[in-house]
Structure 1
C-alpha cells in the first residue's frame, strides 16, 4: 500500500494515525520531495474525477485569482496545474496493488475499504 501526500498536512496525519492504529503497513510518498507524474495524476482523475483530485479548499488554490481558477476547467489543465502545484492535490491518496482506492480521509470509508 502506498500513501501519497505531504507530511505536514493535518488530513494526512489523521490518515496515517488511523493506519498505524489499525496496524496497516504502508509506504509514504511525499509529493514535495518525490513529485508526481502526469500519468499518475491522470490515473487518479480517471478514478475519482479531476474535480475531486483538485483540492479547491486549500490555500494553494485560494491564492489563485478567480480568473486563474476559472481557466482550469478540464482534466488536462487540472493535471498540468497539479503537477506543478502538488499542494493543490487532495490528500492523502491511498493505493492498494498500484490502484487508487481512497482520497482524503473519512474513517467510515477507511473501515469499509481497508478493514
Structure 2
C-alpha cells in the first residue's frame, strides 16, 4: 500500500497513523510522474484537484483554467490528499468510506 500526500498535511498524518504499513510518498519532495497523475485523474476526475486549498486561491483565473494535470505537475500541493493505492485500488481522502474500506 502506498499513500501519496504531503508530510505536513494533518489528514495524511492521520491516515499514516492508522495505516502503519503504508509506504509514504511526499508529492512535494518527489513529484509524481505524469502517468501516475493520469491514473489518479482517470479514477477521480476533477475531485483530485483541491479547489479549497490555499494554493488554489492564490492562482489567477488563467492559471485555474489550465489542464488539471498540468496544474498538478506545476503545483503538487493542489492534489487532494491523501491518495491511497491499495494494491491497484485507489482511494481519495481519509473519509469514513475510505477508513471503512481499509481498516
TM-score (normalised: structure 2): 0.90
Matched, 1:11 2:8: no
Matched, 1:68 2:45: no
RMSD: 1.4
Larger Rg: 1
Partner of 2:30: 34
Partner of 2:42: 46
Partner of 2:91: 102
Specify the SS of the correspondent of 1:32. Answer: coil
Provide Cα deviations, 1:21-41, integer angstroms capped at 9, x if missing partner: xxxx11011111111111101
- For structure 1, list consecutive stretches of 5 or more residues without a partner in the other structure: none
Aligned positions, number: 103
Matched, 1:114 2:96: no
TM-score (normalised: structure 1): 0.81
1:56 alignment partner, one of 24, 47, 51: 51
Assess if the C-alpha contact under 8 Å between 2:92 and 2:98 holds in 1: no
